[in-house]
Amino acid sequence: MIVNHKLLKREILHRGVVFDLIVDYIEYPSGNGSVREVAKHPGGAVVVPVFDNGEVLMIKQFRYPIEKIIYELPAGKLDPGEDPERCARRELEEETGYKAETYKKLTAFYTTPGFCTEKLHIYLATGLHELKTGQQLEEGEESIKIEKIFLRKALDMVATEEIVDGKTIVGLFLADMKLR
C-alpha cells in the first residue's frame, strides 16, 4: 500500500448506529497539513433477485436523507464479522419475503471512497420462491413495498432517472451482463 501522508491526530466525533464519523489530521511529505473527514461504515450486501421469466424483485422505500420514495434492490448493512452472502440472504428474506436457491457474487465496490469506507457486495439471486412468513420488516422499514419489474424495463428506468440509487444501478447492469 502506498501511503502519501502521516497521520498526526484522529478524532472520533460520533459513534453511530450505521457509521462512525472520524476526522484525521494529516501531513503530506511536503510538510503541508490537511484534514480528512471519514464516515466509517461496516459495509453491506445487495441482492439482484431475478425470476426465471426475467423479472427483478425490487423494493420501493422512503429514504429519509433525500425525502423521497425510490426503487432499490434489497440490501442491508453487515453485522460485525458477518459473511456478505449471509447478509444478502437475510436481507432478501426480510425485505421481500422471498428466498433464493442460488447466489452468485457479481462484484464488490466502494460506494463513495472520497469520504466513506462502505464496501458493498452484490449478489445475483435466482431460483426464487415466496416464504410463508412474508416480509420481516424492521422498525422504520414499514414503508417498503415490493414490485416485480422486467430487467430490460428496469435498465430503461435507469436511463430515465426513475431508478437513481447507485447500488441498484450497478447491480442491474451486472445482472444483465451475467444473464445474457
- Supply the residues annotated as catalytic: 139
- Residue burial 23-60, b: 16+ Cβ < 10 Å; e: rest: eeebeeeeeeeeeeebbebbbbbbbbbbbeeebbbbbe
Q: What cell does 150 get?
A: 422486467
Half-sphere exposure of 42 (CA within 13 A, CB side): 16
Residue with cell 426465471: 52
Q: What cell does 44 get?
A: 453491506
Identity (one letter) of the amino acid at 155? L
